[in-house]
């Protein structure tokens, strides 16, 4: 017969051994949770998503949850569940052709841009980059943008900037890929997660035009019967990533030139003795990348008398890259009296400034809705106009409209200063009937001198401000800043709000947060539970995921509850 005392002792021993097992499990649980701290969080910028007449373009997906891979993958690999991380400098034509133009499936694409493409001033990671390499990478990026924005991509595409954390992660991924140890659920590696709802259409996308006047002087009173000269520039942009498209040259340089011209003529017009016999109309228009839709709506809001009073309009575009020469683009034949007058006036001043100005004539096809230059919207309403630009060829739709490659690094205020002198001097000679004389009104070191500091400060501001319509709100602080600045120099400044042409549809979710989780699967750890004759195998994990932490707690919590219930039942038995 068994001794009751010994039986009780055995039960207590079993309970204590079980408690040891529980304590060991708790320590393992705490250790696992403590290892779940190391994550890298990065701001990422999504490829634009939009439709033209119902045809989809850009990236159609925003959320991301796949393991990471590098460009060192084997040809023919299935990458449908892999996020490929590629620095711009490593991008090759084969990858672009297969995965972007032909649309082969990817889990996602993360493109790393050099630091000098940042809007803010920052040092380039990895040392100095010479100008030749910068120009080369600018060409690569501009070409890539065109392919991305004109393709329909069924996986998420994000941009980020190179930094120490991303460089370290990518170097680790490359080592694993080179060793044939690509990241999977069983081999570990890095996992990239972007949590984002499905992108939604922007309802009633708006555009905002800004206009102001410098009224001329008329001997008998009213200035409304005076002829008018219009100076116009479109201020918004378009690019592969709306949150990064600042358009320093296209068309930040054009708007900055307009503001400086308004400042200079406001000084002249503030004195009745030097006020000209022309009204000067200044227009800052929106919707430029979209067939200059804002310019069209702005012009159609004019009454017939105002439209007929415009002698001609000068549209300013991409002046920051025209230091060696500019082009005057026109729709009317060069023999037209006004066109000839404008071109000869610019050419004469350009010769004095050691600049070259060429003339480009392009007829308008009224049956085609495509508008390549802003002046064409004037020409369609029979108003004489021309565009002065550093671009020699008319761009295609959504091309050269201020993308990722168009930033402050590639624009100098010297080019804009020269352009302002060119336009202001030729305009002043026409207004004051001095076309045949080589007089200089805006002389350096005078009260009417062009101000390089003013131009530089505004270029810097434009180069920090993404301006993709319709992601600019009607009362956006930048739009209000433009209105205030123009109002400091001219009168009757007002805003005109309208809706973008219905053929264009845009989607939200332009900026997200990328979380990079590292998963290291190591040798198993065994724990023996003597009461149940169980051997539990744990795998040491290092993963930086809150979701994993919760899942881990749930699994081990369920195990502990089950084990506790089992021990209570067996002890009672």
Q: What is the pLDDT of residues 463-478, one digit of tens each?
A: 999 999 999 988 899 9
Mean predicted confidence (pLDDT) in 536-551: 49
End-to-end Cα, the chain, rounded Å: 18
Q: Which of 101-105, 456-460, 549-553, 556-560 has the lowest mean pLDDT?
A: 549-553
**pLDDT at position 31, please?**
46
- With a pLDDT cut of 70, the percent of the chain lying above it is 84
Q: Name the residue among 321, 355, 326 with its Cα closest to residue 250.
A: 321
SS3 assignment, position 212? strand
What's the residue count for the chain? Answer: 573
Instruction: List CB contacts of 404: < 8 A, sequence separation 6 or more.
Output: 113, 117, 141, 145, 159, 239, 240, 241, 244, 245
Q: Please indicate whether residue 497 or residue 439 has the higher confidence score (pLDDT).
A: 497
Can you give the pLDDT at residue 543? 47
Is the pLDDT at 40 greater than 80, yes or no? Answer: yes
The band of 87, judged by pLDDT with boundaries at 50, 70 and 90, is very high
Q: Structure tokens of 199?
A: 């992108």
d(CA 5, CA 17): 18
pLDDT attached to residue 500: 92
pLDDT for the residue numbered 359: 97
| Tokens (6 digits) for 12 | 């207590």
For residue 550, pLDDT over 70 is answered with no
Q: Tens digits of per-residue pLDDT, 341-361?
A: 999 999 999 999 999 999 999
Q: Tell me the β-bridge partners of 536.
A: 527
Helix (H, G, I), strand (E, B), or coil: what is residue 529? strand
Mean pLDDT of 283-308: 95
Distances (CA, A) of 360 to 104, 304, 316, 324, 363: 41, 29, 15, 17, 10
H or E stretch covering 218: none
The tally of CA atoms less than 13 A away on the side-chain side of residue 68 is 26
Q: What percent of the chain has pLDDT over 90?
A: 70
Render the burial of 355-371: b for 16+ CB within 10 Å, e for the rest.
bebebbeeebeeeeeeb
Q: How confident is the model at residue 322 (pLDDT cuts 50, 70, 90)?
A: low
| pLDDT of amino acid 53 | 94
Domains and CATH numbers, the chain: 40-201+509-520 (no CATH), 206-501 (3.40.630.10)
Asked whether the predicted pLDDT for residue 9 surpasses 60, the reply is no
DSSP 471: S
Contact 228, 311 (CB under 8 A): yes
If pLDDT is split at 50, 70 and 90, which confidence band does 545 have? very low
Residue 19 has pLDDT above 70, yes or no: no
Q: List all residues 6 or more positions away from 243 whose beta carbon is below 8 Å from its beta carbon.
A: 45, 466, 471, 510, 511
Which pLDDT band holds residue 562 (cuts at 50, 70, 90)? Answer: confident
DSSP class of residue 337 equals H
Residue 443 tokens, joined: 């002389």
DSSP state of 37: T
Q: What is the mean pLDDT of residues 542-567?
A: 68
Closest CA to 492 of 223, 260, 273: 223
Which token pair is 88? Answer: 């711009």
The answer to whether 459 touches 480, Cβ cutoff 8 Å, is: no
Q: β-strands 534-539, 524-529: how paired?
A: antiparallel
pLDDT of residue 271: 94
- 154 vs 170: CA distance, rounded Å: 24
**Residue for token pair 């123009």:** 486
């Amino acid at each position: 017969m068994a001794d009751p005392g010994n039986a009780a002792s055995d039960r207590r021993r079993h309970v204590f051994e079980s408690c040891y097992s529980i304590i060991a499990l708790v320590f393992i649980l705490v250790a696992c949770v403590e290892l779940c701290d190391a994550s890298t969080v990065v701001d990422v910028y999504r490829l634009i998503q939009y439709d033209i007449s119902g045809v989809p373009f850009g990236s159609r997906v925003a959320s991301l949850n796949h393991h990471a891979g590098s460009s060192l993958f084997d040809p023919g690999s299935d990458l449908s569940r892999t996020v490929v991380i590629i620095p711009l400098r490593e991008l090759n034509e084969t990858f672009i052709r297969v995965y972007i133009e032909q649309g082969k499936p990817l889990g996602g694409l993360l493109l790393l841009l050099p630091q000098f493409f940042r809007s803010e001033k920052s040092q380039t990671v990895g040392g100095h980059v010479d100008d030749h390499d910068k120009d080369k990478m600018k060409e690569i990026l501009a070409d890539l943008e065109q392919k991305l924005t004109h393709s329909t991509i069924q996986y998420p595409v994000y941009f980020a900037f190179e930094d120490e954390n991303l460089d370290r992660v990518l170097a680790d991924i490359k080592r694993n890929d080179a060793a044939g140890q690509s990241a999977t659920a069983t081999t570990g590696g890095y996992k990239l997660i972007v949590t984002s709802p499905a992108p939604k259409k922007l309802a009633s996308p708006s555009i905002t035009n800004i206009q102001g006047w410098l009224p001329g002087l008329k001997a008998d009173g009213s200035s409304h019967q005076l002829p008018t000269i219009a100076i116009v520039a479109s201020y918004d942009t378009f690019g592969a990533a709306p949150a990064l498209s600042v358009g320093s040259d296209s068309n930040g340089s054009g708007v900055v030139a307009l503001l400086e011209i308004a400042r200079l003529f406001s000084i002249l017009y503030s004195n009745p003795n030097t006020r000209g016999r022309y009204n000067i109309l200044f227009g800052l228009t929106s919707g430029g990348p979209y067939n200059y839709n804002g310019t069209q709506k702005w012009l159609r809001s004019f009454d017939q008398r105002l439209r007929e009073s415009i002698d001609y309009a000068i549209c300013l575009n991409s002046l920051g890259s025209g230091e060696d020469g500019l082009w005057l683009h026109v729709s009317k034949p060069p023999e037209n009296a006004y066109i000839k007058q404008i071109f000869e006036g610019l050419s004469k001043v350009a010769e004095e400034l050691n600049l070259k100005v060429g003339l480009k004539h392009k007829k308008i096809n009224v049956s085609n809705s495509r508008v390549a230059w802003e002046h064409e919207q004037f020409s369609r309403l029979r108003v004489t106009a021309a565009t002065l630009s550093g671009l020699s060829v008319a761009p295609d739709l959504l091309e050269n409209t201020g993308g990722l490659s168009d930033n402050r690094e590639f624009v100098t205020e010297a080019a804009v200063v020269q352009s302002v002198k060119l336009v202001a001097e030729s305009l002043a000679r026409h207004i004051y009937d001095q076309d045949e004389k080589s007089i200089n009104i805006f002389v350096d070191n005078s009260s009417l001198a062009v101000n390089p500091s003013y131009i530089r400060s505004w270029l810097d501001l434009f180069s920090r401000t993404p301006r993709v319509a319709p992601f600019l709100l009607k009362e956006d602080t930048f739009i209000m800043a433009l209105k205030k600045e123009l109002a400091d120099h001219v009168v009757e400044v007002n805003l005109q709000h309208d809706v973008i042409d219905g053929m264009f549809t845009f989607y939200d979710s332009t900026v997200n947060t990328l979380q990079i989780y590292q998963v290291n699967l190591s040798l198993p750890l065994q724990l023996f539970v003597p009461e149940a004759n169980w051997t539990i195998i744990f795998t040491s994990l290092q993963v930086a995921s809150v979701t994993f932490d919760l899942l881990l707690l749930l699994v081990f919590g369920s195990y502990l509850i089950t084990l506790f219930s089992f021990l209570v039942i067996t002890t009672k038995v």
